[in-house]
Amino acid sequence: MSQTATETAPPPNTVTLQNGQTITFNSNTSISTDEIPIIDVAGIYSSELCDRVAVAEQVREAAHRIGFFYVVNHGVDPAVADTAFEYAKRFFDLPEERKMEVYTGKVPGEYVGYHPMEHYNRNGWKRKDLSEAFNWAYSASHDPEATDPSAPSISIWPSDSVLPGFKDAMYAYHTPLLQFARRLTRTFALALHLPEDAFDAYIQQPEAGMRILHYPAQTASVDEQNGIGAHTDFECFTMVTQDGVSGLEVLSKEGHWVKAKPVPASFVVNIADCFMRQTNDFFVSTVHRVVNRSGRERYSAPFFWGFDRRMVLEPVETCVGEGNPMKYPVMTAGEYYAFRARKAKEGKY
């Protein structure tokens, strides 16, 4: 008897994120494409407005279409990044009891400090996320443009007797990233067809956290474990410094995981949820994850840039109008950050 085989595609994978969004993807297998653009941002340093606008228009297209892009010629010395990565490795090589002296649980409501290996399970996989991290926050004393350099910081640090020079090395990299992020914020204002200084008041005392991450070589199946599960970031945008080991993946609109392979001397910039909310979804906060199947240790350093916690996240005027009302309730940046930090530390998404 002849048979006609009817193959039914398996249902797509479904994950609920920490921001309440439910996403689906076609397969856990990632693909390589040229979907993530590489933008030469040297023009943002030009004295000519037309040069700065030209870069902004490329940023506008990428931020609206996919929410991810690489930037090159950003002006930050890669040698400072190299030193930061060396100190990151020294920190993660410390005995567990030493790292736990700065455990994030000691700072309730904030995301600073040490986040242990396999501590979270962002997507409810069989195994917890295979990574560990150390986070620190904005420090006015390390901000050349601080209005009050004496303002206290919420960060906690290992003592110099445990890891000499660690804090200094981390802020030596944090400070030039802070300065670049301020300039890039002006580029985003132009990208939204606003005056270049439209967000200046929002970033005098910014939310400018940073973290270092360690991903051991993953042996478990991607169907059972991620390095970091699928998520979106909290603030306005994130700038990620990658080492030479692949692992970062971006979810395309078609439901495919796209590899964001390391590009030498670049940052990967991604839109985060506060900017998506404030631009009424014109900018896209794209879902991403890390899966380290390289067979090698992987390290990365994301820098999270957001607005002053006291500022109200009012809708961007060029992103709302008649027939296009604001989709989100208005709140302060601090209220939204506190909500997301609490959910993240709970590991509940």
Listing DSSP states for 128-157 in one string gives ----EEEEE---GGG-TT-S-TT-------
Q: Which position has the token pair 């110099």?
A: 160
**Residue 245 within a domain:** yes
User: Per the structure, how many domains does the chain have?
Assistant: 1
The two structure tokens encoding residue 231: 């998520």
SS3 (DSSP) at 43: helix
Please tell me the distance from the alpha carbon of residue 198 to that of residue 217, in angstroms, as a whole number: 44
pLDDT in tens, the chain (349 residues): 334 444 444 445 887 777 777 878 888 889 888 889 999 999 999 999 999 999 999 999 999 999 999 999 999 999 999 999 999 999 999 999 999 999 999 998 788 999 999 998 888 889 999 999 999 999 999 999 998 999 999 999 999 999 999 999 999 999 999 999 999 999 999 999 999 999 999 999 999 999 999 999 999 998 899 999 999 998 999 999 999 999 999 999 889 999 999 999 999 999 999 999 999 999 999 999 999 999 999 999 999 999 999 999 889 999 999 989 999 999 999 898 888 877 777 764 3
Report residue 22: phi and psi, to 5°: -105, 125
The b/e string for 154-180 (b: 16+ C-beta within 10 A; e otherwise) is ebbbbeeeebeebbebbbbbbbbbbeb
Task: Give the whole-angstrom CA distance, residue 155 versus residue 135.
Answer: 8
Residue 3 domain-assigned (yes or no): no
Rounded Cα distance between 247 and 289, Å, is 8
Secondary structure class of 25 (helix, strand, coil): strand
Amino acid identity of residue 17, one-letter, is L
- For the chain, the farthest-separated pair of C-alpha atoms sits apart, in whole angstroms, at 84
Establish if 275 belongs to a structural domain: yes
Distance CA 300, CA 294 (A): 14
pLDDT computed for residue 12 by the predictor: 55
In the DSSP assignment, the letter for residue 241 is E
The identity of residue 104, as a single letter, is T
Domain containing residue 104: 32-346
Residue whose C-alpha is closest to residue 137's, from 110, 116, 164:
110
112 assigned to some structural domain: yes
Which residues, 6+ apart, have CB-to-CB distance to 200 below 8 Å? 185, 186
Distance between CA atoms of residues 285 and 237, nearest Å: 9
Q: Is residue 21 part of a domain?
A: no
Tell me the Cα Rg of the chain.
20
Query: CA–CA separation, 29 vs 140, rounded Å?
Result: 43
Strand partners of residue 133: 115, 213
- Written as six digits, the tokens of 36 are 């993530």
Looking at residue 6, its pLDDT comes to: 42
CB burial readout 61-77, b (16+ within 10 A) else e? ebbbebbbbbbeebebe
Name the nearest CA neighbour of 155 among 209, 83, 95: 209
In a domain, 27, yes or no: no
In a domain, 14, yes or no: no
Residue 256's domain is classified under what CATH number?
A: 2.60.120.330
In this structure, is residue 185 part of a structural domain? yes
- Residue 25 has a pLDDT of 87
> pTM value?
0.92
SS3 278: helix
102, 149 in Cβ contact below 8 A?
Answer: no
List the alpha helices (DSSP H) in the chain: 49-65, 78-92, 96-99, 166-191, 273-278, 333-346
